[in-house]
Amino acid sequence: MDRTTQLIGQASPFLDAVERASRAAPLRRPVLVIGERGTGKELIAERLHHLSTRWQEPLVTMNCAALPETLIEAELFGHEAGAFTGASRARAGRFEEADRGTLFLDELGTLSMAAQERLLRVVEYGEVSRIGSSRPIRVDVRIVAATNEDLPRMAATGRFRPDLLDRLSFEVITLPPLRVREGDIAVLADHFGRRMAAELGRDTWPGFSDAVCTALETHGWPGNVRELRNVVERAVYRWDDAESPVGAVQFDPFDSPWKPVGPSHAAPDTPAAPRAAPAPAPLDTVTDLRTAVDAHERAIIEHHLAKARYNQRQTAKALGLSYDQLRHALRRHGLIDRA
């Protein structure tokens, strides 16, 4: 975990999530932390551990998406020597390493069904069996799990065990995305900017220009706080005049007129353009007015989303809509995940 990052913010939805984590921390029950990428799920897991009675014991982290399915069970539960090809010696798993402490399972939704079944047994009985062994080992582990998946929907479609979900969801903390945390973009940007200026050895922090502040506030932040940190730190280190406010910002570090393109794209010297919105169907072919209107409205929204690089606030502005009106239209057309 990145221990140089702190839980910073003043927006009510964010403070409510932090307060819920603080109240749940002393309990021995499992906690699920839900949120988009970059919203601070790891930091909430740290808070749950360090405010608990287990704070002096291990906090062990495992990213369930970082390992192939064939190794996840061995990593979680350990294995005996000779249990499988390459297992030359016995090895304790993450549950044994976290005994009396906390195990943080990141990207929980990527666990295989077999691993979920073994995890269910640990949650129910507090026992773990290494692969290749029939002797259970008692462990005392508090589980904190995080995901950006819709676990109830996964359970309803058979991709996640409902009984495991029931046992892990004693408390569910859902972190708000940065785009709805009113006032926090400016607070976080100033924090990251000051810290980067200090890292560069600069004696003063002049802040950002009005144009940059506006750009930061209107960006969609699909990567949330993690993306904001990268954007701000990149802008500060690229700005050579340490005495004047930072006056330029680049949201996409890959954006360049010389970036390589595949053979199916435009020529290298031709900037890629968003796909043009299709023309409406010929009037004589329209037999269902509502369907035709909905299809054309969806095409217009998709076109402007791509043109604005999926920045919802810029898309709303281009279409003459409020942000809430655009979000309603995205939900109605099933585009909310794409935006």
Tens of pLDDT, residue by residue over 5-14, are: 579 999 999 9
In terms of domains, do 48 and 152 share one? Answer: yes
Domain-embedded: residue 249: no
Q: How far is CA 332 from the centre of its chain?
A: 24
* CATH code of residue 228: 1.10.8.60
In terms of domains, do 109 and 234 share one? Answer: no
* Per-residue exposure over 266-287, b if at least 16 CB sit within 10 Å of its own CB, e if not: eeeeeeeeeeebeeeeeeeeee
In terms of domains, do 38 and 149 share one? Answer: yes
For the chain, percent helix, then strand, then coil, each to nearest 5? 45, 10, 45
Q: Which of 176, 198, 229 is the last residue of a domain?
A: 176
Which candidate, 200, 183, 211, places its Cα nearest to that of 236?
Answer: 200
In terms of domains, do 47 and 169 share one? Answer: yes
Is there a contact between 10 and 121 (Cβ–Cβ < 8 Å)?
no
d(CA 206, CA 200): 14
In terms of domains, do 155 and 204 share one? Answer: no
Domain-embedded: residue 228: yes
CA angle 42, 46, 49 (to 5 degrees): 140
In terms of domains, do 154 and 229 share one? Answer: no
In terms of domains, do 26 and 169 share one? Answer: yes
d(CA 194, CA 204): 9
In terms of domains, do 40 and 169 share one? Answer: yes
Q: What does 262-306 look like in DSSP terms, one character per residue? A: -TTS--TTS---PPPPPPPPPGGG-S-HHHHHHHHHHHHHHHHHH
Domain-embedded: residue 64: yes
* CATH code of residue 147: 3.40.50.300
In terms of domains, do 171 and 186 share one? Answer: no
d(CA 334, CA 204): 47
In terms of domains, do 137 and 88 share one? Answer: yes
Q: What does 137-162 look like in DSSP terms, one character per residue? A: EE---EEEEEESS-HHHHHHTTSS-H
Which candidate, 110, 105, 123, 111, places its Cα nearest to that of 163?
Answer: 123
DSSP 8-state class, residue 251 = S
Is there a contact between 164 and 116 (Cβ–Cβ < 8 Å)?
yes
In terms of domains, do 142 and 209 share one? Answer: no
In terms of domains, do 162 and 64 share one? Answer: yes
Domain-embedded: residue 91: yes
Domain-embedded: residue 151: yes
The domain containing residue 301 runs over which residues?
283-332
Domain-embedded: residue 210: yes
Give how many domains the chain has, as a whole number. Answer: 3
* CATH code of residue 288: 1.10.10
Query: Two tokens at 228?
Result: 């904001």
Q: Which of 132, 160, 176 is the last residue of a domain?
A: 176
- pLDDT 10s digit of each residue in the chain, 339 long? 444 457 999 999 999 999 999 999 999 999 999 999 999 999 999 999 999 999 999 999 999 998 887 788 888 988 888 777 777 788 888 999 999 999 999 999 999 998 999 899 899 999 988 888 888 899 999 999 999 999 999 999 999 999 999 999 999 999 999 999 999 999 999 999 999 999 999 999 999 999 999 999 999 999 999 999 999 999 999 999 999 999 999 999 998 888 887 665 444 444 445 555 555 656 666 677 777 777 888 888 888 888 887 888 888 888 888 877 888 888 888 887 655
d(CA 271, CA 150): 37
* Per-residue exposure over 233-245, b if at least 16 CB sit within 10 Å of its own CB, e if not: bebbeebeeeeeb
Q: What does 160-179 look like in DSSP terms, one character per residue? A: S-HHHHHHH-SEEEEPPPGG
Q: Which of 125, 157, 176 is the last residue of a domain?
A: 176
Distances (CA, A) of 232 to 5, 37, 212, 218, 276: 14, 18, 10, 14, 33
**Upper half-sphere CA count for residue 100 (Cβ side, 13 Å):** 4
Domain-embedded: residue 300: yes
Domain-embedded: residue 253: no
pLDDT tens readout for residues 31-59: 999 999 999 999 999 999 999 999 999 99
